Amino acid sequence: MSASRPGPAFGATFDDAALAEDLEHASAPGRAVALDARRQFGAYGVAVALLRPCLDEGRDGTRLPRCVKTYLPAPAGDWGMVFEVRLSKHGKPVLHCLAFGRRHPLRQPSRASTRWPPGGLIANSAPRQSSPAGYGGW
């Protein structure tokens, strides 16, 4: 990630305990990407240009209303963060990180690919107490 943000950005907040839980399930490269993003987004915010919409309800039944995501490393890395849009105490929109994990692949890679995890497990599917109702991973 660059040392400065490109263009307009939203402030970002993190639940460090929830992020630590996600990092327990990440590979060493994934942890490095997440921690770098945490530092950059905490200092500079999340650039609007990096944000992508989340479906209100995913194909697997995951419910993420009012959420956006970013791929890490930008622009199309193997990992991602999901943020819920909230209002700060001053009434300004802020992004609150709900989850970090490996992105869902759009299709299964060829047999020669080493990027497809055994069994297809992508993200921790156990819901957290601090997550919105119906959230069970992403």
Containing 44, the helix (H) or strand (E) segment is helix 28-44
What are the backbone dihedrals phi and psi of residue 80, each rounded to the nearest 5 degrees, phi first? -155, 165
User: What is the DSSP-derived secondary structure letter of residue 7?
Assistant: S
Q: How far apart are CA 28 and CA 60, in angstroms?
A: 27
Instruction: Specify the pLDDT at position 133.
Output: 37
pLDDT tens-place values along the chain, 138 residues long = 445 556 899 999 999 999 999 999 999 999 999 999 999 999 999 999 999 999 888 778 888 899 999 999 999 999 999 999 999 999 999 999 999 999 876 655 545 444 444 333 344 444 444 434 333 333
> What's the pTM?
0.72
137 Ramachandran zone, left/alpha/beta (phi>0; psi -120 to 50): left
Domains of the chain (ranges; CATH) run 9-104 (3.30.2310.20)
